[in-house]
Amino acid sequence: MRPSSLLPGPARTDPAMPGVADSVLDLIGRTPVVRLGVLARAVAPQVLVKLEGRNPGGSAKDRPALSMIRAAEAAGDLAPGATIVESTSGNTGVGLALVGRLTGHPVVLVHGPNMSAEKRATAALYGAELVEADWDAGPDDPDNPRAVADRIAAERGAWRSHQYDNHANPSAHYRSTGPEIWEQTGGRVTHLVAGIGTGGTISGTGRFLKEASGGAVRVIGANPEGSTYGGGAPGEIRVEGVGTRWPRSHWPASFDAGVPDEVRSASDDVVFETVRRLAAEEALLLGPSSGLAVAVALEVAAGLTADDVVVVVSSDGGGNYLSEALGGPR
């Protein structure tokens, strides 16, 4: 089955080999879901993890990357062969680099020093051009990543994918991640937990699941230390890919703050301890933002019953963080 909602492309070239994908683009989505064992032993509900790291670019971001590019092409905003510019902490860059390579668009990524060495190397191997900007610069500072990306796009006549403000970002999750979770759980999902970066994942997936369940599914955002999504003051954010230091007035348009019923925070200590336990006890090597989401999910699950089914979106695997955030014995 091809992800037809995302890919209006040509049919398989050889119907006699239905297990063979036309290209890597055909492998985006339809990620597996696994039930937690040891980590969820003390809680009554099933806690299920959707493994978005199994996408070909290694993260959930392959979905919005493909969706944003296809939507822009269809709208005539992205001409054949035109360049794409994005400011990204990493995974969207890898997703755009991968999809850009296969759809014929050069990709320029404006990133911060927090982008892991593995993600930089991966995006570069897919042919993306990398430009470093000041990730700590505020919304009005011309050196902030979005401003730098805007400048480069203007200079080169390139298209800005604007993942923070692009409706095709949450809609990718509305059209694929949400329906997959609904189908994979046989409609039994009662709670969704996801981190919030651009907000695309939680807004699109959460909106779909709420609609599919007649409003029954409860959506919980997972917030890292230092992020204002949880209502606290801005500080250093150590969990890559999630959180914002900007005030509510500057939260991304791709985040629909009306979708989460609540946002819960977890400390960095708990996040990294959860990542290590996931690897050691479940043989699940996941990224730090997944540790955050699982930690919040276990806290939520502690107050629920055996009739509940909690689904956690794991945005990526841990392999991209081995040299830095997850590196070395502790």
Per CB under 6 A, residues contacting ligand PLP are 59, 61, 89-92, 195-202, 240-242, 287, 289, 315-316
- Cβ-closest residue to ligand PLP? 241
DSSP string, 48-81: EEEEGGGSTTSBTTHHHHHHHHHHHHHHTSS-TT
| Backbone dihedral region for residue 21 (phi beyond 0: left; psi -120 to 50: alpha; all else: beta) | beta
Q: How far apart are CB 146 and ligand PLP at their closest, in Å?
A: 14
Q: How far apart are CB 202 and ligand PLP at their closest, in Å?
A: 6
How many whole angstroms separate alpha carbon 2 and alpha carbon 18? 10
Cα dihedral across residues 273, 29, 197, 110: positive or negative: positive
How many whole angstroms separate alpha carbon 28 and alpha carbon 131? 26
Q: How far apart are CB 163 and ligand PLP at their closest, in Å?
A: 7
Beta bridge partner(s), residue 111: 132
Q: How far apart are CB 310 and ligand PLP at their closest, in Å?
A: 18
Active site residues: 61
Contact 319, 285 (CB under 8 A): yes
Closer Cβ to ligand PLP, 3 or 317, answer by number: 317
Q: Which residues contact 228 (CB under 8 A, 6 or more apart)?
A: 234, 243, 244, 245, 246, 247, 248, 251
For residue 183, give the H/E element and its range.
Answer: helix 178-184
Closer Cβ to ligand PLP, 49 or 202, answer by number: 202
Contact 92, 123 (CB under 8 A): no
The pair of structure tokens assigned to 296 is 């919040």
How many whole angstroms separate alpha carbon 275 and alpha carbon 277? 6
Longest Cα pair distance anywhere in the chain, in angstroms? 58
Tracing tokens 């945005």 back to the chain, one arrives at 315
Q: Are strands 46-51 and 309-314 parallel, antiparallel or unpaired?
A: parallel
Closer Cβ to ligand PLP, 156 or 250, answer by number: 250
Q: How far apart are CB 283 and ligand PLP at their closest, in Å?
A: 20
Q: How far apart are CB 157 and ligand PLP at their closest, in Å?
A: 26
